[in-house]
Amino acid sequence: MNARRQLGEFLQTRRSQLRPEDVGVATYGGRRRVPGLRREELALLAGVSVSYYSRLEQGQAPNASPEVLDALARALHLNDAERRHLHELATGTRRRGVGRRPAPERVSPATRQLIATLGDVPVVVLGRRSDVLAWNTAGHALYAGHLAPDGPDTPRQRPNMARLMFLDAHTRDLYADWAAKARAVVASLRMASGRDPDDPLLAALLGELTVKSPEFATMWADHPIKAGGDAVYEMRHPLVGTMQVTQQTLRTADEQAVVVATTEPGSPSHSAMTLLVHNAVTGRAFTPQDPRRDAPART
């Protein structure tokens, strides 16, 4: 991944999504050849020269100051998450990669203690590249009961949530609105690439998904950025049916995501989740009639 190119692509994408009327730019009824704002219009709004802004989009201006970045963020109407991502991309243009293979990610004792404390609440711990670093029995049953439960224990065999989301039929079928969940996954990867553009393992994952999934390639090119907060998804589990599940993400100090899944107490979704967790902890996560039971593990 090239940090300068990412910065330029992000600016260009956001510029193309901003309509002139959104920022009070007069068009005088003329026909526009490009979607969104022109470079000169955005440069004027941000108070920078057109030539300098053009060099930013072309990846030829690696030393943009925080003040310039903030001015561009205001002109583009970026939210807080997008503004942070813009600054991280600019910081990445000033770093030089050392070319070292990153050390395997591990779950800290404190995080494992948190998982144990949550008991039968479904929990999954994701690494910086969306690798599944750990899950409890309920989390495995909810998200990936068709995979081996000990998959996260071996770094080379760990499931990857982004790979599952785009390349695994079981995971795709879990979400009634698959596109919304998939876009959130892509947004998380975009933020990870902004924080560490020189990560070769992340680059390999992005390359694989781009080649194997046209849907991923399209979403990736749109530069989505996750704003954070809780998300409610309608999940269609093959064992217990449809549930409205709230997914809350807690961030650890080492950039791992602890995803906790809950349902509204007293609701049909809560009853379904209780049944799923009961089946999981008693060793009956899938019935013999379920065709997914004998499906090969995919990582």
Residue 154 lies in a domain: yes
- Same domain? 235 vs 167: yes
Residues 6+ apart with CB under 8 A from 167: 209, 212, 213, 298
* Structural domains counted in the chain: 2
- Same domain? 30 vs 139: no
The DSSP bridge partners found for residue 236 are: 242
pLDDT the model gives residue 299 = 40
- Same domain? 132 vs 57: no
- Same domain? 30 vs 135: no
The list of the chain residues with pLDDT below 70 reads 1, 26-32, 93-101, 227-229, 284-299
pLDDT the model gives residue 228 = 67
Residue 104 lies in a domain: no
pLDDT the model gives residue 29 = 57
- Same domain? 147 vs 273: yes
Global pTM reads 0.83
Residue 7 lies in a domain: yes
What count of Cα atoms within 13 Å lies in the side-chain half-sphere of residue 245? 29
Residue 290 lies in a domain: no
- What's the CATH number where 27 sits? 1.10.260.40
Say whether 210 sits in a helix, a strand or coil.
Answer: helix
Residue 171 lies in a domain: yes
pLDDT the model gives residue 298 = 43
pLDDT the model gives residue 230 = 83
Per-residue pLDDT tens over the stretch 77-122: 999 999 999 998 888 766 555 556 677 899 999 999 999 999 999 9
Both structure tokens of 231: 């998300």
The CA distance from 223 to 189, in Å, is 10
pLDDT the model gives residue 102 = 73
Both structure tokens of 25: 């730019």
What count of Cα atoms within 13 Å lies in the side-chain half-sphere of residue 7? 31
CA of 201: how far to CAs of 30, 63, 128, 157, 292, in Å? Answer: 47, 26, 10, 14, 30
Q: Which of 165, 180, 205, 206 is nearest to 6 (CA)?
A: 206
Say whether 99 sits in a helix, a strand or coil.
Answer: coil
Structural domain including 78 reads 3-93
- Same domain? 119 vs 29: no
The CA distance from 135 to 115, in Å, is 8
